[in-house]
C-alpha cells in the first residue's frame, strides 16, 4: 500500500517512483518464487489496469535472484 501511495503521489521524486514501479513489476511477473504472496501480483495487475506505465527494465535495474547451490 505504501509503495502504491508513493507511485500515486505527484510529489514523489521520479527516480524513486520508477524504482518502485520496477520492483512491483518484477514481483508481479515472478513465476514460482512469490506465488505464495499473491498481493504482489494483485498490486501489479491493479496498477496496469489503471493505466500506470512501467519503466523499461535492463539487467542493471533488476534485483539479483538468489539461487541456492
pLDDT of residue 62: 54
For residue 7, what are the domain limits?
Answer: 2-49
- The secondary structure of residue 32, as a DSSP letter, is S
69 within a domain of the structure (yes/no): no
Domain count for the chain: 1
pLDDT in tens, 12-68: 999 999 999 999 998 888 777 777 788 888 999 999 999 999 987 655 555 555 556
56 within a domain of the structure (yes/no): no
60 within a domain of the structure (yes/no): no
pLDDT of residue 59: 52
Give the rounded distance of the alpha carbon of 25 from its chain centre. 3
Find the DSSP H helices in 1-69: 2-8, 14-28, 39-49
- The secondary structure of residue 56, as a DSSP letter, is P
- Report whether pLDDT(2) > 70: yes
The helix/strand/coil state of 62 is coil
Measured between alpha carbons, how far is 22 from 6 in angstroms, rounded to an integer? 13
18 within a domain of the structure (yes/no): yes
29 within a domain of the structure (yes/no): yes
Amino acid at each position: 500500500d505504501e509503495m502504491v501511495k508513493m507511485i500515486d503521489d505527484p510529489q514523489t521524486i521520479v527516480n524513486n517512483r520508477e524504482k518502485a514501479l520496477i520492483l512491483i513489476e518484477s514481483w508481479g511477473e515472478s513465476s514460482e518464487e512469490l506465488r505464495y504472496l499473491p498481493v504482489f501480483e494483485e498490486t501489479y495487475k491493479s496498477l496496469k489496469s489503471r493505466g500506470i506505465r512501467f519503466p523499461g527494465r535492463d539487467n542493471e535495474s533488476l534485483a539479483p535472484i538468489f539461487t541456492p547451490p
